[in-house]
Structure 1
Amino acid sequence: MRHFPKWMIVIVLGFIVIGTVIFTTMQSYRYNDMTKQMKEAAQVAINKNVDKSIRVDETKLSFVETEFEKDFKSLFNKNQNFKVKSYSFDYLKSSDGFYKAIKIKVIDDQDSPYQITFVSDFLNAN
């Protein structure tokens, strides 16, 4: 009977540790799932919005930023069970004005930021 308080403390601490591990695992899974969906939506949107009329030089790529953003938002919001508060797009261009990378940041309804830097093989985009 004298060890009962010690065992109760150990059991309570065990539940706290298990709860913390489960919460951390679920948040990690959500982050990985969201960033994967962001990458897939960006890939589809970039392939959809390549401006083929500008591509005289096959080693350079140009696309319409506003259409890319609109398509990304519509593709990313399909089948989602959360609300997105804000989107942020930052384009890295080379010195001659062609795109190298796109940094996309999404903030969800829980104020959690999700960020990817989308560097695709723009040279071989169709």
Structure 2
Amino acid sequence: MRHFPKWMIIIVVAFAMIATVFTYMNQSFRYNDITKVMNEAASIAVSTNVDESIRVNEEKMILSVDEFEEDFKVQFMKVNTKLKVKKYGFDYLISEDGFYKAVKIKVTDDEDTTYEINYATDFVNSSTL
């Protein structure tokens, strides 16, 4: 009976550690899952909104920015229905010629957690980064 307080402290500390690890793993899975969905939505939105009429050089592209942003939001919410989005942010990396190189997309949810991806496309090799 005299070791009872010691064992109770050990059990409480063990439960606290298990709860901490579980919470960390859950948040890590959520972040990775949401960024994967963002990459897929960006890939779909880019492929549907490339302005093909202006593409003379395969290494350069022009996007319909407003349509890209709208398609991204639709594709993102189609897959991710549980996330309540507070705001979207789009920053474009544009070359000196006026062509698009990459897109930085930020999504902020109702818990003020920001999910961010950088999407760059290599049209010459037909693969995405």
TM-score, normalised to structure 1's length? 0.94
Does structure 1 residue 41 correspond to structure 2 residue 60? no
Q: Which runs of 4+ in 1 moved over 6 A?
A: none
Distance 1:16 1:98 in 2: 52
Q: 2:121 — aligned with what?
A: 120
Map of 2:96 onto structure 1: 95
Higher mean displacement: 108-117 or 16-25: 108-117
The answer on 1:18 being equivalent to 2:18 is yes
| RMSD of Structure 2 on Structure 1 (CA) | 1.2
- Runs (5+) with no aligned partner, structure 1: none
CA contact (8 A) 2:41 2:75 kept: yes
Cα distance in 2 for partners of 1:59, 1:30 equals 34
Q: TM-score, normalised on structure 2?
A: 0.92
Q: Which residue of 2 aligns with 1:110?
A: 111
AA partner of residue 81 (structure 1):
K
When the two structures are aligned, how many residues end up with a matched partner?
A: 125
- Mapped to 2, the partners of 1:57 and 1:82 lie a distance apart of 39
For residue 58 of structure 1, what is the aligned residue in structure 2? 58
Q: Point out where structure 2 has 5 or more consecutive residues left out of the alignment.
A: none
Distance 1:89 1:71, change over 3 A: same
Q: Percent identity?
A: 58
Compared with structure 1, are the counterparts of its residues 45 and 124 closer, same or farther at alpha carbon in structure 2 (3 Å cutoff)?
farther
Take 2:42 and 2:28, find their aligned partners in 1: how far apart are those partners? 21
Equivalent position of 2:32 in the other structure:
32
